[in-house]
Structure 1
Amino acid sequence: MRLISICPSNTELLAYLEMLDHLVAVDNYSDWPPSITHLPRVGPDLHIDMDKVEALKPDLVLASLSVPGMERNIAELQKRNIPHLVFAPNSLEDIANDLLLLGEALGQKAKASEVVHRYRSFIEQYRQLADIVAQPAKLYWEWWPKPIFTPGKTNWLSEISQLAGGSNIFADIPQANVQTDWDEVVKRNPSHICLVWVGVQTKKMNKEAVKQRLEAENVDAIRTDRIYILEESLYCRPSPRLLAGLQKLAALLHPSVFPPDDGQDPLLTK
């Protein structure tokens, strides 16, 4: 089967199903696992070159609606009658269901069920540990600084926050993506700040810039220097790799409650 993935999270779904050998091309941003780096690229996820996609004669294209603007890709796939699957997950359970759907479509139903069982078991393990955290952390996630974008209630990062022994300070807003301002962040006074700027490498991010913002001295996270620069790839892509991000975050927030982060993917090593 000839597969094309036009979104990094979908490429990662294939990795967990051990179906990477069937990939004939990926989008420009797919970078995990390293074994896919040699594959032809069909453009950035918001501007896929559909002529290239069509020329490769795929049996199935894995598309997504995880980022606003991806609707154009779906419309073009439909227009050209290219077989495709579309994923639009917001929650951790949505990701599990996407794995099962993809497994069924690719004839890998048993493998998908096995991965999903381990995935759900890991989540339950962390849910039980989070229940014994005495002082949950108040987390502010920053996807982008100007203007500020942050996850709301229906994004998986609100779940990740809870499973790591904390809460997303914007979880009261019933949407996945929230545009707000720094004044509102100051009012909500997070105890920890998680910087995951979309499309920016961690080495190019500077937490000192956050400390220079207006009224920074009134924010607990800044006073106590609990500002974390985190990998976008472990927190902003709807794939099982989010559990590696959860493992890292939980160990940072509550090292006396959660296991230490060994840097390994919990679904691939345990």
Structure 2
Amino acid sequence: MRIVSICPSNTEIVAYLEQEEMLVGVDNYSDFPEQVMQLPRLGPDLSIDIDAVAQLKPDLVLSSLSVPGMEKNIEGLREHNIPQLILNPGSLQEIAADIEEVGKAIGLPEHGEKKAKEFLQEIETYRAKSNAKEKKPSLYWEWWPKPIFTPGQGNWLTEISELAGGVNLFGEEKEASVKTDWEDVRERNPDHICMVWVGVKEEKMNPDLLRKRPGWLEMKAIKEDKIHVLEESLYCRPSPRLLEGLRKIHSILQP
């Protein structure tokens, strides 16, 4: 099959299914696995060049609603009568379901089911470890610095926090993405701060900026030097690579 992926998380699902050779084009932000960097780039995920997609003559486009604004791509593909599978996972369970669904769509239903089970089995392994812990440190995930956005109850990072043996500081807020402010975070006083600014490489994130915020030097995480600059690609995309992120944050919390 000839597959086009117009979202990094979808590209990573194809990679998890070990079918990268089916990909004939990707969005500008898809950067994993390394070989997709050689494929035709079809524009940023919010404004895909639909004409360029059509020229690739795909059998299937993996489109997405994981970021607000992607609806325009979906409508464009419909207008061009290009076959598409629309993914919109918000939880680890839904990511597993998408692995299975993509497997079926590309003609490998048994393989898709097998890989989805592997994904869920690893999650359950970490869940058992987490359930055995009595004391769970609080994690503040910073998605964006100003204004501050952080994941809430309906977000996979709340699950990742729990599976790693911690608890998301904003995990009881109903929104999937919570807009808050520096003072609110200071008052909640997290045990750990995880910097994962969306779309920003880790080498461009400076922990010293956090130390300069009013009152933040008194926060426990900063006093104990528990600011973690993490790869946003392992935490901000609803893809199977969240497992890699889980392994990493678990090793930080449980050294």
TM-score (norm 1): 0.92
Maintained 8 Å contact 2:95/2:240: yes
Match for residue 8 of structure 2?
A: 8
Partner of 2:56: 56
Is residue 243 of structure 1 aligned with residue 246 of structure 2?
no
C-alpha displacement of 1:218: 3.0
Alpha-carbon separation, structure 1, partners of 2:54 and 2:175: 35
Name 1:263's counterpart in structure 2. none
1:4 is paired with a residue whose SS is strand
Deviations 1:90-147, CA, capped at 9 Å, x for gaps: 1000000001111111111111111112111111110011112232010100011011
Q: State the distance in 1 between where 2:74 and 2:248 align.
A: 34
Indicate the residue corresponding to 1:217 in structure 2: 217
Preserved CA contact (<8 Å) 2:140 2:194? yes
Between the aligned partners of 1:31 and 1:229, the Cα distance in structure 2 is 19
Alignment deviations for residues 220-250 of structure 1 (CA, whole Å, 9 cap, x no partner) = 1111110000001111111111001000000
The SS at the match of 2:86 is: strand
Aligned mates of 2:137, 2:68 — CA distance in 1: 30
**How far did residue 12 of structure 1 move?**
0.6
Q: Quick one: distance in 2 between partners of 1:89 and 1:73?
A: 17
Deviation at 1:26, TM superposition (A): 0.3
Map of 1:35 onto structure 2: 35
Query: Structure 1: any 5+ residue segments left out of the alignment?
Result: 256-270
Structure 2 length-normalised TM: 0.98
Contact 1:17 1:108 in 2 (8 A): no
Is the 2:140–2:169 Cα contact (8 Å) retained in structure 1?
Answer: yes
Paired AA for residue 112 in structure 2: A
| CA–CA distance in structure 1, aligned partners of residues 222 and 237 of structure 2 | 27
Tell me which amino acid in the other structure corresponds to 1:100.
Answer: E
Deviations 1:163-222 (A, max 9, x none): 001111111111211111111111211110000011111111110110110111331111
Task: State the distance in 2 between where 1:219 and 1:148 align.
Answer: 17
* Aligned positions of 1:58-97 closer than 5 A: 58-97=58-97
RMSD over equivalenced CA pairs, Å: 0.9
- 1:104 paired residue number: 104
Q: Measure, in 1, the Cα distance between the counterparts of 2:113 and 2:223.
A: 46
- d(CA) in 2 for partners of 1:78 and 1:207? 44
Segments of structure 2 that go 5 or more residues without pairing to the other structure are none
After TM superposition, the runs of 4+ consecutive aligned structure 1 residues lying more than 6 A away are: none
Give 1:59's aligned amino acid: D
Write out per-residue CA displacement over residues 44-97 of structure 1, whole angstroms, 9 at most, x where no aligned residue: 101111111112111111011111111111111122221101111110000000
**CA distance, structure 1, for counterparts of residue 105 and residue 246 of structure 2:** 28
Corresponding residue number in structure 1 for 2:185: 185
Deviates more, 1:93-102 or 1:67-76: 67-76
Between the two proteins, what is the percent identity of the paired residues?
A: 55
The letter for the 2-side match of 1:216 is: W
State the partner residue of 1:207: 207
Task: Give the partner amino acid of 1:158.
Answer: T
Which SS does the other structure have where 2:225 is aligned? coil
Q: Which one-letter code corresponds to 2:22 in the other structure? A: H
Distance (whole Å) between structure 1 residues aligned to residue 16 and residue 75 of structure 2? 28
Partner of 2:162: 162
Report the AA paired with residue 201 of structure 2: Q
Alignment coverage as a number of residue pairs = 255
1:259 maps to what in 2? none
Corresponding residue of 2:252: 252
